[in-house]
Amino acid sequence: MKLNIPYKSGTVRVSSPYGMRTLNGTTAMHKGVDLVGTVKTIISPCAGKIGWAGEYDDRLSGGRTWEWGKYVRIETDDGYMVYLCHLAAVFCQAGMHVEAGDEIGTEGSTGYSTGNHLHMEVRKNGESLDPTPLLGIANRVGSYPAESDADRVCRKAGLETQTKNYINRYPYAADLWRKLWEAMR
Ligand SMILES: [Zn+2]
């Protein structure tokens, strides 16, 4: 299982790692990782089926899913569930199939949240996993580049960095990578 950083481009900061943390004097398990992007477009980090897209208000029944605000759940063929939460907008519907890199929403602060960020959670067989090794980043506060269209095309087509750098000398390279990615996915 490998996940891409779920931001379209720009730089992504881990603002709160996975694991035990103390907030306002209370220590509890943080079952996901909090990310903040310089670019707010959220993409699917993997291929899969959209299992849920929107809000789930369970306040009256004493549930806590409402805390996620608008969220998307992606279900992979190998049994992982990926949750992307606190979204400002959702661009997908339950039942749709998505590929890694498809736009699914925008980062926001809906639900129980004190500022714009993405709470990302990965579960298998009902247990939450540390998403950071799957994302290829460290489980600590820090910044990472999100995958660009060029990176996505090269990964899928098996192109080498040398080829990517050569194409990047072309003045309309960004536009070309975008079109290639749209044609490939
Ligand atoms: Zn969180």
State the DSSP string of 15-50: EE-SEEEEETTEEEEE-SEEEEESS-EEE-SS-EEE
CA atoms in the 13 A half-sphere facing the CB of 132: 21
48 alpha carbon – ligand 1 mean position (Å): 22
5 located within any domain: no
Same domain? 44 vs 130: yes
| CA 69 / ligand 1 centre spacing (Å) | 12
Chain segment 17-32, per-residue pLDDT in tens: 999 998 889 999 999 9
Distance 29 CA to ligand 1 centre (A): 10
> Which pTM value belongs to this model?
0.85
Answer yes or no: is 4 within a domain: no
Task: Report the CATH number at residue 86.
Answer: 2.70.70.10
Domain of 55 in residue numbering reads as 11-147
3-state secondary structure 47-101: CEEEEEEECCCCCCCCCCHHHHCEEEEEECCCCEEEEEEEECEECCCCCCEECCC
- Ligand 1 centroid to Cα of residue 148, in Å, is 24
- What's the gap in Å between 176 CA and the centre of ligand 1? 36
Distance separating alpha carbons of residues 90 and 81, to the nearest angstrom: 17
Per-residue pLDDT reduced to its tens digit, 58-102: 999 999 999 999 999 999 999 999 999 999 999 999 999 999 889
Ligand 1 midpoint to CA 45 (Å): 17
Q: Cβ distance 43 to 135 under 8 Å?
A: no
Compute, in angstroms, the gap from residue 60 CA to the centroid of ligand 1. 23
